[in-house]
Amino acid sequence: MDNPKETSGFVFSKESLKKKFRLSEFLSEKIITGVAFLSIAIIVLIFFFVFRESLPIFSQQKAVVKVEHAEKQEQYGVAADSTQTNSSGQEQYGVTSNDTMMIEDQAREVDTVVHGSDRATAKSLLGKQWLPVSDNPRYGLIPLFVGTLKITLIAILFAAPIAILAALFSAAFAPYWLREIIKPAIELLAGFPSVVIGFFALMVMASFFQNLFGYDGRLNAFVGGVAMALAAIPIIFTITEDALTAVPKTYTEASLALGATRWQTALFVTLPAATPGIFAAILLGIGRIFGETMIALMATGNAAMIGINPFESVRTLAATIGAEMAEVVFGDTHYNVLFLIGALLFVFTFSLNAVAEFYVKGKLVKRFQGKQS
């Protein structure tokens, strides 16, 4: 250190200060940039794929209208009974003389026409029945939406108060050593495989609640909702806890110095100051519940019913994909509708997360930097 010139061996000249091209740094920088963009590209591509697979539903609407028209004509034919060239007549032909290739071909044509009439339209998607594999398939998404909303509501009613109160305890009341145990413990729950929670709900909770309330269906929205609350609690807890501890300590001190108790301080100062963060936590919790598949599949009973009774079985959007995607005919209407559900789930959770992110950032900055009023 006594002789800086010797130790560094650095000569201060125009030559030594010249800009240098450092290949390894240049490459590393490009690689990590590439990786970052790749992850964004993957998300965009997944969404693109999911949405593209659901597109046929919309693009075939015109064709569907035509087919319906044709069907109507056929029905007219039936009603008028003037000609015997309706579909059933042709089928009979096909059955009686199946040695003629031409008639068989005609029958197949009719078959495709009949199948075509089952194509989902925007109108039929708003139907009240989800019966994708019946002889007369119906793709009404309403029961799935109702089921998902019902279970989300039940789950969030359980998860939000528990998680927020637990976070408040951890942030404002728990002694330091206890907080160091509670927080990681609850955060570990977030990594709990949902299939295990589902299994627990299926085997233990379902029987317990049935004994408690004495309802008929063992698996229903209530059991599923409570199980999903278990999955959402860690997320809501963690984010709420972070929001509460981010409230400047000066707030708490100011309140305590005015003679407020710890409860009053937590309730009237800390909690209100952290509202944006808590709001975001709840939104992210809802996102988690909305997209949760395995628990819904295992604990809700999966019957697509519309009703407000919480002890009725429900079928959620995510569980529908999980249950039916493996058995669906590739390229079928059913297949397309499942992809449409996937796209809807994606859009919903994406916007939920976006609102949480931007709302919170904006609000918190305003609050703590005094740009309000």
Partner 1 sequence: MKEIKIRTHNLTLFYGAKMALNSISMDIPEKEVTAFIGPSGCGKSTFLRTLNRMNDLIPSVRITGEVLVDGLNIYDKQIDSVNLRKKVGMVFQKSNPFSKSIFENVAYGPRINGLNNKAKLAEIVETSLKKAFIWEEVKDRLHDSAMGLSGGQQQRMCIARTLAVEPEIILMDEPASALDPISTAKIEELIFELKKNYTIVIVTHNMQQAARVSDLTAFFYLGELIEFGKTRKIFTTPDKKHTEEYITGRFG
Strand partners, 130: 139
Grouping H, G, I as helix, E, B as strand and the rest as coil, residue 139 is strand
Closest contact distance (angstroms) between CB of 277 and partner 1 is 13
Q: How far is the CB of 271 from partner 1 (least distance, A)?
A: 12
Between 67 and 171, CB nearer to partner 1: 171
Is 362 a binder of partner 1 (CB under 8 A)? no
> From the list 47, 169, 215, 251, which residue makes contact with partner 1 (rule: CB under 8 A)?
251
Which of 273, 284, 299, 344 is the binder for partner 1 (CB under 8 A)? 273
Contact criterion met (CB below 8 Å) for 303 and 313: yes
User: Does the footprint of partner 1 cover residue 4 (CB under 8 A)?
Assistant: no
φ, ψ dihedrals at 348, nearest 5°: -65, -50
Tell which positions 104-163 bind partner 1, by CB under 8 A: none
Stretch that binds partner 1, among 2-10, 146-154, 198-206, 362-370 (CB under 8 A): 362-370
Which span sits near partner 1 by CB under 8 A: 246-254, 288-296, 304-312, 334-342?
A: 246-254
- The residue (of 214 and 370) whose beta carbon lies closer to partner 1 is 370
Between CA 174 and CA 322 the distance in angstroms is 41
Q: Give the span between the Cα atoms of 63 and 66, in whole angstroms.
A: 5
Find, among 198, 226, 220, 222, the residue nearest to 300 by Cα: 220
256 binds partner 1 (CB under 8 A): yes
Q: Is 169 in the site for partner 1 (CB under 8 A)?
A: no
CA-CA distance, 279 to 277, in Å (whole number)? 5
- Residue for token pair 């031409």: 102
CB of 238 to partner 1, least distance (A): 23
Is 261 a binder of partner 1 (CB under 8 A)? yes
Task: Give the distance between the most distant pair of CA atoms in the chain.
Answer: 114
Shortest CB 185 distance to partner 1, Å: 20
Q: How far is the CB of 278 from partner 1 (least distance, A)?
A: 15
**Which are the contacts of 120, defined by CB distance < 8 A and separation ≥ 6?**
57, 139, 333, 336, 337
Nearer to partner 1, 267 or 323 (CB): 267
Question: 138 in helix, strand or coil?
Answer: strand
- Of 142 and 267, nearer to partner 1 (C-beta) is 267
Q: Closer to partner 1 by CB, 193 or 248: give it.
A: 248
User: Tokens for 86?
Assistant: 């309706």
In sequence order, the β-bridge partners of residue 139 are: 130
User: What would the two tokens of residue 168 be?
Assistant: 């408040």
Count CB atoms within 10 A of the CB of residue 319.
27
Q: Based on the shown chain and the rule CB under 8 A, indicate whether residue 367 belongs to the binding site for partner 1.
A: yes
* Phi and psi at residue 131, to the nearest 5°: -135, 70
Nearer to partner 1, 236 or 269 (CB): 269
Helix%, strand%, coil% for the chain, nearest 5: 75, 0, 25
CB of 174 to partner 1, least distance (A): 11
Nearer to partner 1, 239 or 271 (CB): 271
Q: How far apart are CA 53 and CA 240, in angstroms?
A: 38
Nearer Cβ to partner 1, position 32 or 258? 258
How many residues form the binding site for partner 1 (CB under 8 A)? 27
Which member of 30, 253, 358, 361 binds partner 1 (CB under 8 A)?
A: 253
The total of other beta-carbon atoms located within 10 Å of residue 131's CB is: 14
8 touching partner 1, by CB under 8 A: no
* Residue 62 or 371 having the CB closest to partner 1: 371
As a whole number of angstroms, the distance between CA 247 and CA 301 comes to: 43
Please report whether residue 330 would count as binding partner 1 according to CB under 8 A.
Answer: no
The nearest distance, CB 164 to partner 1, in angstroms, is: 19
Which residues are near partner 1 by CB under 8 A? 175-176, 248, 250-261, 264, 268-269, 272-273, 367-373
